[in-house]
Each structure stands twice: as structure tokens, then as C-alpha cells.
Amino acid sequence: MAKFANITGWGKCMPPAVMTNDDMATVLDTSDEWIKSRSGISERRVSHVPVSDLASVAGQRALAAAGYQPEDVDLLIVATCTPDTVIPSTAAHVQKKMGAANAAVFDLNAGCSGFIYSLEVATAMIRAAGYKRVLIIGAERITWFLNWSLRDTAVLFGDGAGAVLVEPSDEECGLLASHLGCEGDALEALLLPNFGTAGNRFVDDYAKFDVSFDGREIFRRAVRGMAQEITKVLDDLGLSNDDIDIIIPHQANARIIESLANHLSVPMSQVALNIQNYGNTSAATIPVALCELLEDGRIKHGNRLLLAAFGAGLTRGAGMIRWGDRVTPLAQSDAELPPCDQTALEIMSEAIKHTG
């Protein structure tokens, strides 16, 4: 069995419709100034298609970058908390759309930590069970779930997908150490109570999606939880903060990211930050940021990339990647989303009408 699991392909798919903070202020009691200063977000994308479409395009782009076809994939993991359907998994829809007919498939729901959880699972399955080409896709259509009358959550999230292909390797690269956890005692801090089998589907307000959300509590726990997991990862590898080349944190709030960088004494120039363009896309934030670092030529062979995330659960995780030798894609995919002829506000108009 291989000792290491290298990332050899990457791709992203961001839906085209942009909702700016000013757009939001036309339907909510909020402002560009408030959203930017409290979260760092300027705009986000709103998907006109199901999450499996975003995932399928991102997945095909990652496969092309690694020089493979969909039928070469033997395991497909979709990290999402906004599935197309509960039965079957989103991964099954993605398998069908991509034509990845030879893949075992499953969804992994660890909220915004889903990508790090999936990378640990994929690495372990390559090392212990002999899988050869594992496609991980972090994909979310969170705007579909938002209650557009709740300004504290509606302004924070967006849609998108990012994917990586992971393969066995003899070189010391890929995910070298990771730690995952969950603070279930605080799960009410981010909870969608009226959806799922714990609820009564025959009452009128079922599926109204009035998310229960305690932003301050999550903020506090996020910085502390990520810092704890990072310390364990660095200790495992015998490394210090100085050995980190780039931090790729979950993008939930620019102030959380700055606090983390401060805590680690790593300058913001070494931290991936794209929340201004996309908001919080949950399990997609880390793979999308990774893709953009590669597109910008910021990742070199041998770089140490520290991932850190937290999310609904309240899950948390950190991992250290040593980057392998591929920094340019082998090929480009021609996969595209169906065209979108609506503005973001038009896509959301029905949801806004029903919850406003």
C-alpha cells in the first residue's frame, strides 16, 4: 500500500450570478458598510442550479487537471450539508452527471469542516484500502436554505464548489497529519431545526428554515478550536509556526481569519483570503481557495500548507499538506454549467417573497 496520498488535480465552479452587499440591502435591513466591516464580505454567488451541477463541473475540472476521465475515479466523496436530495446522496447524482460509473460514492456532512474531514478519509482509504483515484468535492448551495428575513445569517453565505483528485504516492506529500473534532455540546449555535426527521413535517412552519444561529459564540469557539487542532498537527510533525508556508483557512469571517493568523504570528500575506468575493461557501471554501492559490502561481513544490476549519456541529479540524510536484494542470475540461439568464435577486425572488 502507498504511504502517501498526493493531490494531483484541482478545479472549482462558482455560479455566475453575483449578489452584492448593495443588492442585499434592497431586501434586508443591512448595509454594505456593516457587512464589510463585520465579516469582510463584499459579494457572494447565487446558484441557479442544484448543488450536484456545481459539484460535477468542479469535479470534471479537477479530473482534467490530473489527466483523467470520469470513469477512472474509484471513490467519489461529496462534502456538503446542502444536498440535492436526502435520498439518494448528492454523490450519486454527481456520479451520474459526471459519468464516474466505476466509483464508490458517498456524502460527508461535517458542515464547513467537510473538506478537511474528507481529505483525512480519502488519505486513509488510499493508504489502508488501496483506492487509486479519489475525487473529493466540497460543494454547497446554501442560498437555497437561507431564510431571507434573518439578516444575521443571510448576508454571510454563498454558493460554490471546489474539487481535488487524490492519488497514491511514494513521495512524502499530501496530507501528512490532521486532527478532527466536534463540540456537540454547542450544536445549537448553528442549527436548522425545522428540516429532517427530528421535526414534525405536518406542522405549518416545517421547512421554513429559520436557522438558529449564535454568531458570537461560534466566533469565540472557532478561533480557540482551530488553534487547538493546529497545535496538535504541528506537534505530530515536530514543526513550529515558522514552518508554515501558507495557511488556507475556512472563509467564514475575515476577522476570524485575522485572529487566527495573529495567534500563529503568521503575516496575512501568507494567508489565503477570498471571502470578499464569495462569502462563506461552507465545505467549498478551502478547495476553492486552494485552486485560486494554484491559479495565481502561489504554491510551489514542497510548500507546507496548513488547513483549518470549523462549522456546524460544531465541527473543527486542521491538517498539514506538503505539496507535491504538480503546480500546473495537465489539461483543461470543457465542462460548463447551463447558462444563467437571471440576476441573483431574480433567482432568490421567490425565497425572499416567502420568508420576507
Ligand X SMILES: CC(C)(COP(=O)(O)OP(=O)(O)OC[C@H]1O[C@@H](n2cnc3c(N)ncnc32)[C@H](O)[C@@H]1OP(=O)(O)O)[C@@H](O)C(=O)NCCC(=O)NCCS
Closest CA to 60 of 290, 337, 333, 326: 333
Interface map 79-108 toward ligand X (x if CB under 6 A): ------------------------------
Q: Toward ligand X, which CB reaches closer, 67 or 193? A: 193
Q: Toward ligand X, which CB reaches closer, 7 or 112? A: 112
Instruction: Return the residue of 34, 106, 144, 195 that touches ligand X, per CB under 6 A.
Output: 34
* Cβ–Cβ < 8 Å for 114, 162: no
Contacting range for ligand X; rule: CB under 6 A; set: 35-43, 67-75, 172-180, 298-306 = 35-43
Contacting range for ligand X; rule: CB under 6 A; set: 32-40, 118-126, 199-207, 259-267 = 32-40
* Cβ–Cβ < 8 Å for 178, 321: no
Instruction: Return the residue of 252, 272, 284, 347 that touches ligand X, per CB under 6 A.
Output: 252
Residue 253 binds to ligand X (criterion: CB under 6 A): yes
Distance CA 356, CA 341 (A): 24
**CB of residue 28 vs ligand X: minimum separation in angstroms?**
7
Q: Toward ligand X, which CB reaches closer, 104 or 186? A: 186
Chain positions 333 to 352 lying near ligand X, rule: CB under 6 A, are none
| Positive/negative CA dihedral, 181, 313, 156, 221 | negative
Q: What are the distances in angstroms from CA 236 to CA 126, 275, 304, 309, 310?
A: 21, 30, 14, 18, 20
CB neighbours of residue 29 within 10 Å: 8
Residue 216 binds to ligand X (criterion: CB under 6 A): yes
Angle (nearest 5°) at CA 125 between 121 and 126: 120
Instruction: Return the residue of 38, 127, 208, 304 that touches ligand X, per CB under 6 A.
Output: 38
Residue 311 binds to ligand X (criterion: CB under 6 A): yes
Residue 59 exposure: Cα atoms within 13 Å on the Cβ side: 34
Distance CA 54, CA 284 (A): 10
Any idea which residues carry the catalytic annotation? 112, 250, 280
Residue 181 binds to ligand X (criterion: CB under 6 A): no
**CB of residue 45 vs ligand X: minimum separation in angstroms?**
17
The DSSP letter of residue 112 is B
Which residues of this protein are in contact with ligand X, per CB under 6 A? 30, 34-35, 38-39, 112, 151-152, 155-156, 190, 215-216, 218-219, 252-253, 280, 310-311
